[in-house]
Amino acid sequence: MRQHDTLFIGGEWVTPAGTGTIDVISPHTEEVVGRVPDGTTADVDRAVAAARVAFDLGPWPRLTFAERAEAIARLAEIYTERQAELAELITEEMGSPITFSNLAQAPQPLGMLQFYAEYGKTFAQEEQRPGLFGPTTVRREPVGVVAAVVPWNVPQFVTMTKVAPALLAGCAIVLKPAPETPLDAYLLAEMAQEAGIPRGVLNVVPAGREVSEYLVAHPGVDKVAFTGSTAAGRRIAAICGEQLKRVSLELGGKSAAIILDDADLASNMGMLAIASLMNNGQACVAQTRILASRNRYDEVVDAVAAMVTSQPVGDPADPATGIGPLVAKRQQDRVEGYIRIGIDEGAKVVVGGLDRPYERGWYVAPTVFAGVTNNMRIAREEIFGPVLTVIPYEDEADAIHIANDSDYGLAGTVWTADADHGMDVARQVRTGTYGVNCFMLEANVPFGGYKASGIGRELGPEGLNGYLEYKTISRLG
């Protein structure tokens, strides 16, 4: 078992203020695989104070972008060496299939570090612009102390969407990992310490909801960067709005995959499996609404059902596993509750349902619903599990209307033999990220959503902008 008795605050491993602990439980075995301190408000006070000293008095925000980029590059080198360890750790703590952990959970955060390390080499802190009355300097300065509050589903991916640009900007960070997945944050702290990131620039305090809210509302925090549920995002936005505190929110999704009539189902189903079932369906970008024309509806339902049943369900540490367990018992109950809702709403279970694949572990049978209309709860609410709904449409305009008829706007895809036409469809769907015959995320382009899927963008140059304040300096003489 991985036991941690300390918190990472001010560049040191310190004894927590309280005696409470958080057990990390394997979703596969239901056994405790790790234990960390349960942070208190006193621990948050200490971490914010350390971050304030690092930001207000320390060298980090006063370095050039190129100098900070060098430090990020050192962290990336260490991260590279520990990628496999990190992937295995995330699989152990939250049940992500090891193939997905090796494909995305560890490599994509590394890609973010590498992008910002390279981008920072030539990023200019000041820009000269001509003005009506003389030259003007536009200066970019770090926003200050950042509270990074991250979820459990892709813990390092989401952590790095915040930590990497915040580091390059010159901010100091208090990272609050989810109680389900704190172990990877400890590994990151070890790597940051080894890379020589100055004391107090990165602090790690695992904690539950009440302490998280205390961190969000802390007067020493200048910006909150949050990824999680839309309900929690609304609460955080309210707190930050009241304090006029900077905030970025990456929230939920209910993404639609539009399958056009010319799509080659046989060649597309492998990629659609990744887009819709990645991470056991526990992904905000998962394509869980499959839109099929009435002309090919039954054919698409059969193809999606065959795709889902082809994914082996089992031990997430087994490379052969396609779908593993859900992160917690409450998540298992939640997803099974939505399956019951779908049945009650009159949708037809094509595969899956309420029979669990295993008695032990928080497994749910991967499920496909047919006969779904877009006003059903299973088509409108984020389930966050391996449950897909196949919804019929009349024509392409109707498909685009259904895709846009959602409270969310995070992701989406279109599947077609004509990629150029797919681009035309992509331009009409109101989401922040979109794929034509694929779905992928890149470190050098913005990621975020429309509507209830959040506020702001992460990744790429736009992701750095969220951690900068812009100052205008005019001069005469």
Q: Domain with 7 in it: what CATH number?
A: 3.40.605.10
Q: Do 459 and 436 reside in the same domain of the chain?
A: no
Residue 391 inside a domain? The answer is yes
Rounded to whole angstroms, the Cα distance separating 366 from 7 reads 38
Q: Do 310 and 340 reside in the same domain of the chain?
A: yes
DSSP string, 451-472: ETTEES-BSHHHHHHTTEEEEE
Rounded to whole angstroms, the Cα distance separating 307 from 297 reads 15
Confidence grade of residue 475 (pLDDT, cut at 50, 70, 90) = confident
The pTM assigned to this predicted structure is: 0.96
Q: Domain with 331 in it: what CATH number?
A: 3.40.309.10
Biggest alpha carbon distance in the chain?
Answer: 78
Rounded to whole angstroms, the Cα distance separating 398 from 261 reads 13
Q: Do 259 and 393 reside in the same domain of the chain?
A: yes
Q: Do 167 and 279 reside in the same domain of the chain?
A: no
Residue 447 inside a domain? The answer is no
Residue 272 inside a domain? The answer is yes
Instruction: Categorise residue 256: left if φ over 0, alpha if ψ from -120 to 50, beta otherwise.
Output: beta
Q: Do 314 and 221 reside in the same domain of the chain?
A: no
Q: What is the pLDDT of residue 305?
A: 98
Q: Do 114 and 153 reside in the same domain of the chain?
A: yes
Confidence grade of residue 57 (pLDDT, cut at 50, 70, 90) = very high
Mean pLDDT of 374-395: 98
Residues 181-232: pLDDT tens digits? 999 999 999 999 999 999 999 999 999 999 999 999 999 999 999 999 999 9
Q: What is the pLDDT of residue 476?
A: 83
Mean pLDDT of 120-132: 94
Residue 283 inside a domain? The answer is yes
Q: Do 375 and 422 reside in the same domain of the chain?
A: yes
Residue 383 reports pLDDT greater than 80? yes
Work out the percent of the chain whose per-residue pLDDT is above 70: 100
**Residue 191 phi/psi, 5° resolution?**
-65, -40
Tokens 């004391």 identify what position? 199
**Residue 168 phi/psi, 5° resolution?**
-65, -35
320 within 8 A of 312, measured Cβ to Cβ: yes
Mean pLDDT of 57-82: 98
Residue 278 reports pLDDT greater than 80? yes
Q: What is the pLDDT of residue 139?
A: 97
Residue 461 inside a domain? The answer is yes
- As annotated, the active-site residues are 250, 284
Q: What is the pLDDT of residue 134?
A: 85
Q: Do 332 and 391 reside in the same domain of the chain?
A: yes
C-alpha distance from residue 306 to each of 146, 252, 298, 324, 331 (Å): 45, 27, 12, 18, 25
Residue 448 inside a domain? The answer is no
Q: Do 275 and 367 reside in the same domain of the chain?
A: yes
Residue 463 reports pLDDT greater than 90? yes
Domain count for the chain? 2
DSSP string, 248-263: EEE----EEEEE-TT-
Radius of gyration, alpha carbons of the chain: 23
Confidence grade of residue 318 (pLDDT, cut at 50, 70, 90) = very high
Q: What is the pLDDT of residue 477?
A: 73
Q: What is the pLDDT of residue 144?
A: 98
Mean pLDDT of 309-327: 98
Range of 371's domain?
A: 255-442
Residue 275 inside a domain? The answer is yes
